[in-house]
Amino acid sequence: MQVPPRVGSLASVRIEVFYQGKSIAQTSAAIAEAAPALFSDSSGQALATNEDGSLNSAANPVPRGSVIVLYGTGEGVSGLPVSVRIGGYPAEVLYAGPTAGYPGLLQINARVPAGYIAPGNLSVVITVGQISSQPGITIQVN
Protein backbone atom coordinates (compact mmCIF):
# COMPACT_ATOMS: atom_id res chain seq x y z
CA MET A 1 0.00 0.00 0.00
CA GLN A 2 1.23 3.48 -0.79
CA VAL A 3 0.22 6.26 1.59
CA PRO A 4 -0.95 9.53 -0.02
CA PRO A 5 1.63 12.34 0.39
CA ARG A 6 -0.91 14.61 2.10
CA VAL A 7 -0.82 12.48 5.28
CA GLY A 8 2.93 13.18 5.71
CA SER A 9 2.19 16.23 7.86
CA LEU A 10 -0.07 14.32 10.28
CA ALA A 11 1.00 12.65 13.54
CA SER A 12 -1.39 9.71 13.09
CA VAL A 13 -4.15 8.42 10.84
CA ARG A 14 -7.20 6.24 11.20
CA ILE A 15 -7.27 3.19 8.92
CA GLU A 16 -10.51 1.46 8.07
CA VAL A 17 -10.85 -1.75 6.03
CA PHE A 18 -13.98 -2.36 3.98
CA TYR A 19 -15.16 -5.65 2.53
CA GLN A 20 -18.15 -5.74 0.20
CA GLY A 21 -19.03 -2.20 1.23
CA LYS A 22 -19.00 -2.86 4.97
CA SER A 23 -16.42 -1.75 7.52
CA ILE A 24 -14.74 -4.87 8.96
CA ALA A 25 -11.74 -3.42 10.82
CA GLN A 26 -10.47 -0.12 12.18
CA THR A 27 -7.21 0.98 13.75
CA SER A 28 -4.98 4.00 14.21
CA ALA A 29 -1.37 4.25 13.10
CA ALA A 30 1.42 6.71 13.88
CA ILE A 31 3.00 8.46 10.89
CA ALA A 32 6.80 8.45 10.51
CA GLU A 33 8.70 10.52 7.95
CA ALA A 34 10.14 7.27 6.52
CA ALA A 35 10.40 3.56 7.31
CA PRO A 36 13.00 2.20 4.89
CA ALA A 37 13.45 -1.54 4.46
CA LEU A 38 15.40 -3.51 1.86
CA PHE A 39 13.92 -6.56 0.19
CA SER A 40 15.87 -9.74 0.92
CA ASP A 41 15.55 -13.51 0.97
CA SER A 42 15.25 -15.50 4.20
CA SER A 43 19.05 -15.60 4.64
CA GLY A 44 19.34 -11.79 4.55
CA GLN A 45 20.77 -11.65 1.00
CA ALA A 46 19.49 -8.42 -0.55
CA LEU A 47 17.33 -8.86 -3.62
CA ALA A 48 19.58 -6.64 -5.68
CA THR A 49 20.93 -6.53 -9.21
CA ASN A 50 24.47 -5.96 -10.34
CA GLU A 51 25.38 -3.29 -12.90
CA ASP A 52 24.99 -5.84 -15.74
CA GLY A 53 21.41 -6.61 -14.62
CA SER A 54 22.24 -10.00 -13.09
CA LEU A 55 20.97 -10.98 -9.64
CA ASN A 56 23.56 -10.37 -6.91
CA SER A 57 24.58 -13.64 -5.19
CA ALA A 58 27.60 -15.54 -3.86
CA ALA A 59 27.99 -17.07 -7.33
CA ASN A 60 27.60 -13.64 -8.96
CA PRO A 61 29.10 -10.92 -6.72
CA VAL A 62 29.13 -7.25 -7.70
CA PRO A 63 32.62 -5.94 -8.59
CA ARG A 64 34.02 -3.21 -6.34
CA GLY A 65 33.61 0.20 -7.95
CA SER A 66 30.56 -0.84 -9.99
CA VAL A 67 26.88 -0.06 -9.46
CA ILE A 68 24.44 -2.19 -7.47
CA VAL A 69 20.69 -1.65 -7.64
CA LEU A 70 18.87 -2.15 -4.33
CA TYR A 71 15.11 -2.43 -3.92
CA GLY A 72 13.04 -1.57 -0.90
CA THR A 73 10.08 0.24 0.52
CA GLY A 74 9.33 2.99 3.02
CA GLU A 75 10.87 5.94 1.20
CA GLY A 76 8.48 8.24 3.02
CA VAL A 77 8.15 11.88 2.18
CA SER A 78 9.91 12.51 -1.11
CA GLY A 79 12.95 14.72 -1.00
CA LEU A 80 14.47 13.25 2.16
CA PRO A 81 18.21 12.57 1.82
CA VAL A 82 19.16 8.95 1.11
CA SER A 83 22.51 7.40 2.00
CA VAL A 84 23.96 3.90 1.64
CA ARG A 85 26.66 2.09 3.61
CA ILE A 86 28.24 -1.10 2.29
CA GLY A 87 30.49 -3.04 4.63
CA GLY A 88 30.37 -0.01 6.94
CA TYR A 89 31.71 2.34 4.25
CA PRO A 90 29.70 5.09 2.54
CA ALA A 91 28.63 4.33 -1.03
CA GLU A 92 27.90 6.98 -3.64
CA VAL A 93 24.15 7.21 -4.27
CA LEU A 94 23.53 7.73 -7.99
CA TYR A 95 19.74 7.46 -7.85
CA ALA A 96 17.15 7.05 -5.11
CA GLY A 97 13.48 7.17 -5.94
CA PRO A 98 10.51 5.34 -7.33
CA THR A 99 10.83 2.43 -9.74
CA ALA A 100 8.93 3.19 -12.94
CA GLY A 101 5.71 1.20 -13.17
CA TYR A 102 5.87 -0.09 -9.56
CA PRO A 103 4.15 2.32 -7.13
CA GLY A 104 5.72 2.21 -3.67
CA LEU A 105 8.86 0.37 -4.82
CA LEU A 106 12.01 2.27 -3.84
CA GLN A 107 15.02 1.84 -6.12
CA ILE A 108 18.52 2.88 -5.07
CA ASN A 109 21.46 2.77 -7.46
CA ALA A 110 24.72 2.98 -5.51
CA ARG A 111 28.39 2.67 -6.43
CA VAL A 112 30.13 -0.02 -4.37
CA PRO A 113 33.22 1.45 -2.68
CA ALA A 114 36.42 0.42 -4.47
CA GLY A 115 39.96 -0.27 -3.32
CA TYR A 116 39.81 -0.35 0.45
CA ILE A 117 36.68 -2.49 0.87
CA ALA A 118 37.21 -6.22 1.37
CA PRO A 119 35.42 -8.67 -0.92
CA GLY A 120 32.83 -11.06 0.49
CA ASN A 121 29.42 -11.01 2.11
CA LEU A 122 29.04 -7.37 3.23
CA SER A 123 26.31 -5.59 5.14
CA VAL A 124 24.22 -2.99 3.34
CA VAL A 125 22.16 -0.31 5.10
CA ILE A 126 20.16 2.51 3.59
CA THR A 127 19.18 5.60 5.54
CA VAL A 128 16.29 7.84 4.52
CA GLY A 129 16.25 11.08 6.47
CA GLN A 130 17.27 9.90 9.94
CA ILE A 131 15.81 6.37 9.74
CA SER A 132 17.90 3.32 8.75
CA SER A 133 16.81 0.08 7.15
CA GLN A 134 16.73 -3.21 9.02
CA PRO A 135 20.05 -4.82 10.11
CA GLY A 136 21.30 -8.14 8.75
CA ILE A 137 20.93 -7.45 5.03
CA THR A 138 23.95 -8.26 2.86
CA ILE A 139 25.25 -8.17 -0.70
CA GLN A 140 28.07 -10.17 -2.27
CA VAL A 141 31.09 -8.12 -3.37
CA ASN A 142 34.11 -9.21 -5.40
The more confidently predicted of residues 79 and 38 is 38
Share of the chain above pLDDT 90, in %: 70
Q: Quick one: pLDDT band at residue 8, thresholds 50, 70, 90?
A: low
Domain total in the chain: 1
CATH number, domain with residue 87: 2.60.40.10
Q: How far is the C-alpha of 127 from the C-alpha of 111, rounded, in Å?
A: 15
Share of the chain above pLDDT 70, in %: 94
Q: Quick one: pLDDT band at residue 80, thresholds 50, 70, 90?
A: confident
78 within a domain of the structure (yes/no): yes
Coil vs helix vs strand at 120:
strand
Nearest alpha-carbon partner for 71 in 59, 58, 56, 61: 56
Q: How far is the C-alpha of 115 from the C-alpha of 43, rounded, in Å?
A: 27
**The whole model's pTM is what?**
0.83
Range of the domain at 83: 37-141
Nearest alpha-carbon partner for 138 in 124, 118, 125, 128: 124
Tell me the DSSP string of 29-53.
EE--S---EE-B-TTSBB--EETTS
Model confidence pLDDT, tens digit, residues 92-128? 999 999 888 888 899 999 999 998 888 999 999 999 9
Beta carbons within 8 Å of 42's beta carbon, 6+ residues apart = none
